[in-house]
């Protein structure tokens, strides 16, 4: 039977999705499962690593049970994941020694403060990794587990502990606990990979204090095989896992942003703006990270990135935290009932502020409230907060590159909101382009896997698969745009440096 499909696993912050894609980039089937969020203390966010693995297989089981696609028809598997989230597990038992610490979690802020006091360490990290010291990245999460879970350090010394980001964990399990690997993009989010040499950096490893022996083997984002599925695990099939990248890297590939200067924004639980900057890393002076974009055919592509911790999660908070809406569509309906927010701004700094502010101690605020404020104003302000935070990052990218952005490609669950996309175009003053497919991280993972085995010839073929659904053009005057944004900047100023250090 012909191998005519690519299977893509997209393990995200709130759910796991599995998609099956054909050669024309059409999604043939899909399944998804929510994962549980754990909040042991204020600002802490964790996941059950075993549950994550179970949801991957649950989704695959659901797809193959429908018999639209058969396991033997899968040519390769691509994986994309929530990047910095970190797991340590026992080599012998295969069991995690602690929950997966989510990228969102602020529980390692005190460890990061210690790291910042090491003379020259932050500059060294920025020079070698393009990143900065922050609880967001994996290194401090590794140290937290080593320092706080009894017996783990001893088992490290005995060679029995392995570390990985979520992609590593999934490949370890898919391979029947044989392959301990990670791709360059996920590795680049740990603070331990030198993005210039594409190697684990011994100097950083020593200064930060992470045991090198627990780190996975480095692999390209796309190749003939990072690992193979074990037949006794994956429906009797030995299938190459030939694509792997962090979610924002994969989404950029799905959006076909293959040329320098092209940018995309993913509106998920968080948001991540990615701008292709070419084959040489550039240093940001305006609060962005310099990312290793991907490695395909031995060629490295770099990017500027600005991550926003709370994107669509602000709407989830209105639903689950405040209880003022029943679903995301209701938020749109309420927002459209008022002409403006009545001067209300929501700064959703629930877990601090990421790019371009980098303040782990910022906290959320609603400002501008009056007796006339209604839930309609609150809903509108929540949606607008995603547009404002996107502009924060776009302005930084323009300042760093000296080039105005011509348009912004968008994807992710929150792009279902027409109100949001129109406001985004208005507050940026540039067109916002919505493609037909918005599951871009999964599609990008599929592309990486397909390129690795020759399922698609090259990226030029993939460019032809990107199709636009709708373009949102700015309607707002420059004066109104600038006035609203000035109010946003004032509101952000009230939220910074709020929590006790």
The annotated binding site for sn-glycerol 3-phosphate is made up of 13, 83-84, 136, 247
Known binding-site residue numbers: 13-15, 17, 83-84, 136, 247-248, 269, 312, 316, 413
Helix (H, G, I), strand (E, B) or coil at 90: strand
113 token code pair:
């403060």
Pairing of strands 74-81, 5-11: parallel
Known binding-site residue numbers for ADP: 13, 17, 269, 312, 413
Residue 228 CB contacts under 8 Å (≥ 6 apart), including other chains: 175, 179, 238, 239, 240, 241
User: Angle at which helices 375-401 and 478-495 pack, to 10 degrees?
Assistant: 100
Distance CA 418, CA 480 (A): 20
Known binding-site residue numbers for ATP: 13-15, 269, 312, 316, 413
Known binding-site residue numbers for glycerol: 83-84, 136, 247-248
DSSP secondary structure code for residue 91 in this structure? T
Distance CA 432, CA 474 (A): 8
DSSP 435-486: ES---HHHHHHHHHHHHHHTSS--HHHHHTT--EEEEEPP-S-HHHHHHHHH
- Contact 97/90 with Cβ under 8 angstroms? yes
Q: What is the CA angle 382-385-390, rounded to 5?
A: 145
- Contact 139/197 with Cβ under 8 angstroms? no
138 token code pair:
């994996």
Name the residue among 442, 419, 434, 353 with its Cα closest to residue 389.
Answer: 353
Distance CA 170, CA 240 (A): 13
CA distances from 20 to 26, 211, 450, 478 (A): 8, 38, 12, 44
441 token code pair:
């991280």
């Amino acid at each position: 039977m012909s191998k005519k499909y690519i299977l893509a696993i997209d393990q995200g912050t709130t759910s796991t999705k599995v998609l099956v894609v054909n050669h024309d980039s059409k999604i043939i089937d899909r399944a998804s499962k929510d994962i549980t969020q754990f909040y042991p203390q204020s600002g802490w966010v964790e996941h059950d690593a075993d549950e994550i693995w179970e949801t991957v297989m649950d989704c695959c089981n659901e797809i193959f049970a429908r018999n639209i696609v058969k396991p033997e028809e899968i040519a390769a598997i691509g994986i994309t994941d929530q990047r910095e989230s970190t797991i340590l597990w026992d080599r012998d038992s295969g069991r995690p020694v602690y929950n997966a610490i989510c990228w969102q979690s602020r529980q390692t802020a005190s460890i990061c403060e210690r790291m910042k006091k090491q003379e020259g360490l932050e500059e060294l990290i920025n020079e070698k990794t393009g990143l900065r010291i922050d609880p967001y990245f994996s290194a401090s999460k590794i140290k937290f587990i080593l320092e706080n879970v009894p017996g783990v350090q001893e088992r490290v010394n005995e060679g029995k502990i392995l570390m990985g980001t979520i992609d590593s964990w999934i490949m370890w399990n898919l391979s029947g606990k044989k392959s301990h690997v990670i791709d360059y993009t996920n590795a680049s989010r740990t603070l331990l990979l030198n993005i210039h040499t594409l190697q684990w950096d011994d100097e950083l490893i020593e200064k930060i204090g992470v045991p090198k022996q627990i780190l996975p083997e480095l692999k390209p984002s796309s190749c003939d095989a990072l690992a193979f599925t074990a037949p006794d695990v994956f429906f009797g099939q030995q299938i190459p896992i030939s694509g792997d990248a962090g979610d924002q890297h994969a989404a950029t590939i799905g959006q076909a942003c293959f040329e320098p200067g092209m940018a995309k924004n993913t509106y998920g639980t968080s948001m991540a703006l990615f701008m292709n900057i070419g084959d040489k890393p550039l240093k940001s002076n305006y609060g962005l990270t310099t990312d290793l974009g991907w490695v395909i055919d031995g060629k490295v592509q770099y990017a500027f990135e600005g991550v926003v911790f709370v994107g669509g999660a602000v709407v989830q908070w209105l639903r689950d935290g405040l209880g003022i809406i029943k679903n995301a569509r209701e938020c749109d309906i309420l927002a459209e009932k008022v002409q403006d927010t009545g001067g209300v701004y929501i700064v959703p700094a629930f877990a601090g502020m990421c790019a371009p502010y980098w303040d782990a101690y910022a906290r959320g605020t609603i400002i501008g409230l009056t007796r006339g404020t209604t839930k309609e104003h609150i809903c509108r302000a929540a949606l607008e907060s995603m547009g404002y935070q996107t502009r924060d990052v776009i302005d930084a990218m323009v300042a760093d590159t000296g080039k105005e952005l011509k348009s912004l490609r968008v994807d992710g669950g929150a792009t279902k909101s027409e109100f949001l996309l129109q406001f985004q175009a208005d507050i940026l003053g540039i067109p916002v382009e919505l493609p037909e497919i918005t599951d871009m991280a999964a599609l990008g993972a599929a592309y990486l896997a397909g390129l690795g085995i020759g399922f698609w010839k090259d990226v030029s073929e993939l460019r032809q698969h990107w199709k636009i659904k709708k373009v949102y053009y700015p309607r707002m005057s420059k004066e109104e745009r600038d006035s609203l944004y000035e109010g946003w900047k004032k509101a952000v100023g009230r939220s910074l440096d709020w929590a006790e250090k």
